[in-house]
Structure 1
Amino acid sequence: MTIKGMVKGRRNMLGRYVGKWFYDKRIPFDIANSPYFPPIVNAIQRAGPGVKPPMTYELSGPILDEEVEEVKKWIEEYKQSWPRTSITLTSDGWLNKVRKKEFVNFLTYSPKGTAFLSSKDLSGTKKAANFYV
């Protein structure tokens, strides 16, 4: 078998395993277009045989904690850019019909990107003329 044929065979095997994972967990196929998808495949390849994938407790604990810290740092850098770039404050209201709760989300937009600020539960709040002031 040629090297090209071996690579094609390995790629097919990779595709089958990735596909099984997508199908089993009902992961939308467009996730493969995520900018994070190719790096995860590369990281798995670099890790090599014998390296065990992260366990549930690692994903929901220390790994998640590291990602939260990274996002907090990004948001702090983002906020520091506001005096130079200015921001647009946006809000988006939505209704959870099942739980009969009303929410409004507050986000900021600037040339550096968009960030979520907070979400408020407005259920049971009287929406009089001065409500939004």
Structure 2
Amino acid sequence: NTSIVGEGRMDPFFSKPKSEQMTLKGIVKGTRNMLGRYIGKWFYDKEIPFDAANNPYFLPMVNAIQRAKPLTVYELSGPILDEEVEEGRKWIEEYKQSWPRIDITLMSDGWLNKVSKKEFLNFLAYSPKDTVFLSSKDISGMKNDANFFVRLYDQIVEEVGDKHVVQFITDIARAYVSAGSKLLDKRKHLVWTTCATHNINLMLEKIGEIKIVKETLQEA
């Protein structure tokens, strides 16, 4: 009941009396529980959503962890991140090759950096194949300048390729609506649409302001 590990080193598990030895099933269960505890701590400490465990990369990651040394912060923020970025760039280039065959929809999505107080507009390309991030533009101080957005939208369409774009989706802010209308004057083959999600959010906000609805929500 002994096993030699390395050069003359006895495995502590097998060196115990038989009555104290864990079964193989117990070892597997104990290892899994320990791994689960550490992964759980990581999830909780970093406030990672639980459904991240359903991500297709989660299981391969866990399997790889059990066979390799833990990664350092340097590796995660340096060479491994660089490899992921390069892989993403290659995927985007391959994705772009499909545009002549499947026309795309351009989408814009604004957001505010709460730290710097700067406003940005993200541009994404959607097709039946997938959705991909294209670029992010600083629009601080330009929120009400429709002409600025016309030039910006036109620039994005040009960068992607006019012949590949069939639709442009924006929020319903007044400057965006005005810019979208002017863009169609220049590029008549495009269809401009306001974001359905943004419209629904605004509708729900208005409904929430109705007295009886507001009181009900406050009591819920």
Q: Deviations over 1:52-110 (max 9, x none)?
A: 22222221111111111100000000000111111110001123455332211100001
Q: Do residues 104 (structure 1) and 121 (structure 2) align?
A: yes
What pairs with 1:1-133 in structure 2 (closer than 5 Å)? 2-45=23-66, 47=67, 51-96=68-113, 99-125=116-142, 127-133=144-150
Shift in CA distance, 24/127, structure 1 to aligned 2, threshold 3 Å: closer
The two structures, once aligned, show a CA RMSD in angstroms of 2.2
Structure 2: how far apart are the matches of 1:69 and 1:3? Answer: 42
Task: Give the partner amino acid of 2:87.
Answer: E
Rg (Cα) greater in structure: 2
Following superposition, the deviation at residue 2 of structure 1 comes to 5.0
Shift in CA distance, 56/96, structure 1 to aligned 2, threshold 3 Å: closer
Following superposition, the deviation at residue 3 of structure 1 comes to 4.3
Structure 2: how far apart are the matches of 1:122 and 1:35? Answer: 35
Shift in CA distance, 130/60, structure 1 to aligned 2, threshold 3 Å: same
Following superposition, the deviation at residue 28 of structure 1 comes to 2.8
Q: Sequence identity of aligned pairs in percent?
A: 78
| Structure 1 stretches lacking a partner, 5+ long | none
SS of residue in 1 equivalent to 2:84: helix
Q: Deviations over 1:30-51 (max 9, x none)?
A: 2222221111011123x2xxx4
Following superposition, the deviation at residue 5 of structure 1 comes to 4.1
Structure 2: how far apart are the matches of 1:132 and 1:21? Answer: 42
SS of residue in 2 equivalent to 1:39: helix
Following superposition, the deviation at residue 19 of structure 1 comes to 1.5
Structure 2: how far apart are the matches of 1:126 and 1:76? Answer: 31
Shift in CA distance, 100/6, structure 1 to aligned 2, threshold 3 Å: closer
Task: Give the partner amino acid of 1:88.
Answer: T
How many residue pairs get aligned? The number is 129
